[in-house]
Structure formats: structure tokens, C-alpha cells
Structure 1
Amino acid sequence: MNTVPTKVLAGVVVPDTPLVAQSMDYARTISAPYLFNHAVRSWLFAAQLGQLRDVDHDAEVVAVGTLLHDIGLTDSVTGPRRFEIEGADVARTFVRERGFDERRAQLIWDSVALNSTPSIGLFKEAEVALCTAGIGLDFGGRAFDEIPTSTMKAILDAFPRLQMKKRITDCFCCIIETKPETTYDNFARDFGEKFVADYRRPSSVVDFLMNSPFEE
């Protein structure tokens, strides 16, 4: 584990480095308040889980990966691909420009790109797995009971959810309506099928296989 300066934020010991501060400022500047708070809570949950589980990890990578994991949902980071990939590319460039080597930059990319794919992310490197775990905890409550009650209260008091369930549902429905072609193989499809009238996923894995140019 890298040794870096630390501070206590909402009851959790976290790294206190210039890059973490820059990542926080960047996320705050481009994100809606509910989305920024979600990113910070995800970081705090990831950090706390790493400590509680005694996981050897690069705390600065976990901090930056979680803080930037949803920048692809902002108006500042857009493009034709699924939001996780757009965000991952920008996050990787962000850390490269600030001195991360290629291995650490790739861990950032993986943390952002896989943030909504826990069936893969949880089994990656410790940093990616912890980012995925912290994000999943804040999004859907996975591992909720591992966080001490006092710490949970401190995190929620410092960074309230601000109608997170409704606001992020609206966000994903907007993606469904404006970029449906990015939703055929990921979790955003679930929001379209539940909340958006007449949504039809653009394609399926079965269609992809059966319509391939091979005879068999």
C-alpha cells in the first residue's frame, strides 16, 4: 500500500493529496449536486470497506476512480459511446496529465468503465474491486451492513442523497431517450424497459450471433 498523507472526512480516513483534491474539485464543478455527493459517498464507502476488510490497495487510485466514476453522466463529458467509456477515457487522460504512470492510469480507466458492471469489476484488481464495491453500496445498498452505523450517519449527513433514486433514474431515462444505441448490452436498458414508453433495446446478443455472416 502506498503511504500518502491522510485526513478524516465524514469519519473515514482518506488520502489527502493534490490529485485527490483536484479530482474532487473537477467532479464538483461538472456534476449536479446529487451526482457529486454520490461520487463522494462512493469513495468514502470504498475506503471504509478497504479498511474494514484489510485490503492492501492504492488508496489514491480508489479515491480518484470513485470520484470520477460518473463524469460520463455530465454535460461536460459526452460522446457516442456508453457513458462509462466516455468517462473512463476522460478520467484516464486527467490522471495521465497529472503524473500517473500507465498502470495506475489503467486502473482508473477500469474503475470508471466497469463501475456499473459488478459481475466483472468486483473480481478485478483490489483498487477496481473496491471502487465497484463502494459504488454498488451507495447505488443499491450492497454490503450496507458492513458499514458501522455511526459512520453511515456521518457520511449521509455530510453528503446527503438529494433525491438520488429519482434524480439518477431521470438521468438514465434521458440516456435511453437520447442515446438508445448505447444501452443494448448494459444496465441502462433496465431503466428503459421499466420507465420509458415504447423503448426497445436496439439489438441483442442473440441477434448479434444469429445475424453474423457465418454459415454456422
Structure 2
Amino acid sequence: MKINELVIPDSSACSAALEVATAYCSPALLNHSIRSYLWAAAHAKASGIAFDAELLYVSALLHDLGLVKEFDSHTVPFEEAGGHVAWVFGAAAGWPVERRVRASEVIVRHMGDGVDVAQDPEGHLLAYSTSVDISGRGADALPAELRAEVLGRYPRLGLAEEFTACFREQADRKPDSAAAAAMRGNIAARIAANPLDA
């Protein structure tokens, strides 16, 4: 499997999401967001999961905006802040309210466990792919050729250290958040041991 075999959506909303993510994310976080979409699309292709490519792409590109200083909230977890950004983004893109809500749900749910693929394929795929990219869980199920191509085109650029610092800071300020629960669950060790960084 190669990148050019994956569904890569091409719409004004997708171009705008890439522009927004490029403007606000660090290079490491931007590449993480792009890889998250690619891992999700690859998993969907291999598993026969039908999904809305535009919705998933936009959600993947915007899913961590709640971690950047311009959109970080001191009152809600980063995934909820990111969901709000996606809702506003969708309004500007001319999406109907239902589609804006879906983008928000996909982003919020990526931090949950066990998103049902039958009920929310995009949420399931984003939860799967972000887990692959951050902790390496399930990375060995992706074809080695695709992993090498994706990592060559979108290198990790010190994501492990940057992301761990982001989660630690979120956990300190928001002890009831999913990020804090992840830190208590020793995600930092799993991030450090991610085989994608080997």
C-alpha cells in the first residue's frame, strides 16, 4: 500500500484546514495531524471501513488545535476546545450545522476509548490513528512500505518530546481531563517507546 492508493480528499474545506493547521501548529504537530489522517485512511482501506474522507481529513488536521496557545482553554479539555474550533471552522466553510457537530464529535471522541466503528466510523478511525501515531499502538498492522513512505514524507520532528510536554501541561492545569488520565496511565512511557520513532 502506498500513499497514492489512499483516499486523499480535495475540497476547499480540506485546503483551508491544511492552511489553518500549518499556520497554528508546530511542524511536528502538523505532521502528526497529516499522518493521523493517512494512518486512518490506510486502516479504513485495509479493513473495508467506509468513511467520509472530507470530514475525517478536516477533523484530523484540526484535532490538536486545542493544544496550541492560541486555542488552549483553561476551562475545558483540549479535545473539547478543538471540537469548538472545528464547529466554527465548519460554519465558515459553509457546512450545515449537523456536519459541524459531526466534526466536533469526531475530535472530542478521539480521546475516548472504544469508539464504535458502526456508529461513528470517522471517530473510530481518528481514535485509532492518533493512538498509532502517539503511542505506536497498532503500528505494526500498517504495511511497512507505507510506514516508511509516510514517515519519510512527514517526519516526526521530535513529536514525542513535544507531545509529552503538552500533555503534562494539560494534566497539571486540568486534572480531570482525559490528558491527565493518560498521564496517570503512563502514556509518557508509551510515547517514548513508540516504534515509529525507532
- Whether the 8 Å contact between 1:121 and 1:132 is mirrored in structure 2 is no
Alignment partner of 2:110: what SS?
Answer: coil
Q: CA deviation at 1:138?
A: 0.9
Measure the CA separation in 2 of the matches of 1:194 and 1:151: 28
Single out whichever of 114-123 and 142-151 deviates more from structure 2: 114-123
Q: How does 1:105-184 map to 2 (within 5 A)?
A: 105-120=100-115, 124-177=119-172, 179=173, 182-184=174-176
Counterpart residue number, 1:23:
17
Counterpart residue number, 1:86:
81
Q: CA deviation at 1:89?
A: 0.5
Flag the structure with more relative contact order, 1 or 2, with Cα contacts below 8 A and sequence separation at least 6.
Answer: 2
Percent identity, please.
25
- With over 3 angstroms needed to count, the CA separation of the structure-2 counterparts of 1:56 and 1:139, relative to structure 1, is same
Runs of 5+ consecutive residues of structure 1 not aligned to the other structure = 1-7, 196-216
- With over 3 angstroms needed to count, the CA separation of the structure-2 counterparts of 1:194 and 1:51, relative to structure 1, is closer
Q: How does 1:34-53 map to 2 (within 5 A)?
A: 34-53=28-47
Q: TM-score, normalised by structure 2?
A: 0.84
- With over 3 angstroms needed to count, the CA separation of the structure-2 counterparts of 1:143 and 1:123, relative to structure 1, is farther
Q: How many residues are aligned here?
A: 186
Structure with a larger share of its residues in helix = 2
- With over 3 angstroms needed to count, the CA separation of the structure-2 counterparts of 1:43 and 1:193, relative to structure 1, is closer
- With over 3 angstroms needed to count, the CA separation of the structure-2 counterparts of 1:123 and 1:174, relative to structure 1, is farther
Alignment partner of 1:127: what SS?
Answer: helix
Alignment partner of 2:76: what SS?
Answer: coil
Counterpart residue number, 1:188:
180
For residue 69 of structure 1, what is the amino acid of its counterpart?
H
Single out whichever of 61-70 and 138-147 deviates more from structure 2: 138-147
